[in-house]
Structure 1
């Protein structure tokens, strides 16, 4: 009769072990999710603010959200002309993004769908860099070339 009791104890131990593993994996995944979305929260907000300015026709404010390298490629009148040719109307950014901090240089990439006034829409990838404490849009936003 002692044999069935051993099996019962082993079964209980295995069930408890399985529960502990599930809780640990779930907690780790949730922690990773919150950590990951936390580091992309500010770059995502900067991207959304940039697109909000473009959608409102506030080109000067949007231009000021560009990083120094991109401003050197596009003077403000050229930037405005290219944006007006394909004016964003609305946007929906994806939940995540990517973040990197290499040697103190913080960069991020945020993707989302941008709808234009002509009815077309594109999935865009925005490159950002932290400059002077602020996240700035870099690269070629909305394919300006």
Structure 2
């Protein structure tokens, strides 16, 4: 009679395609969760910043219109203060036609490289009644919003 062969378990075949798809799906899911979290954080920063940005621009423009250039200079960012001395800023603001009034027409906030930035659109009224549209850049610096750039 013939010899009986020993029984052995058949070799398991690996399924590299299935494993690869599973790992790829998990990686994609993790990335999507990260992107959604970052988007939610950006929306939160932008939504919470509207009031403080408007208040900063309003305070700055109010002080400029009133001729209080010392306090207005304190609302400038470090970059703007490095380009303008306090005396130079004072003489620049007091150069005719001076700003006599203003109206904030829009506040736009975005993020650039994870840092919030804002642009305040304002209609300036000069002595004699002439009006002009300006964009007032506002950045966050040391936890405070500050006017940055040349608003006039």
Correspondence for 1:91 among 102, 111, 129: 102
Residue-pair matches, total: 107
SS at match of 2:109: strand
Larger radius of gyration: 2
Correspondence for 1:125 among 135, 146, 149: 135
Question: Which structure is higher in helix share?
Answer: 1
TM-score normalised by structure 1 residue count:
0.67
TM-score normalised by structure 2 residue count:
0.64
Q: What is the aligned partner in structure 1 of residue 123 from structure 2? A: 113
Q: Could you list the runs of 5+ residues in structure 1 that have no partner in the other structure? A: 1-34
The answer to whether the 8 A contact 2:123-2:131 is kept is yes
Distance in 1, matches of 2:85 and 2:145, equals 20
Using the TM superposition, give the Cα deviation of residue 119 of structure 1 relative to its aligned residue in structure 2, in angstroms. Answer: 2.3
Q: Could you list the runs of 5+ residues in structure 2 that have no partner in the other structure? A: 1-44
The answer to whether the 8 A contact 2:46-2:110 is kept is no
Distance in 2, matches of 1:71 and 1:107, equals 18
Correspondence for 2:68 among 58, 61, 64: 58
Alignment of 1:1-145 (within 5 A): 39-85=49-95, 86-94=97-105, 96-142=106-152
Moved over 4 A (4+): 35-38
Distance in 1, matches of 2:48 and 2:125, equals 26
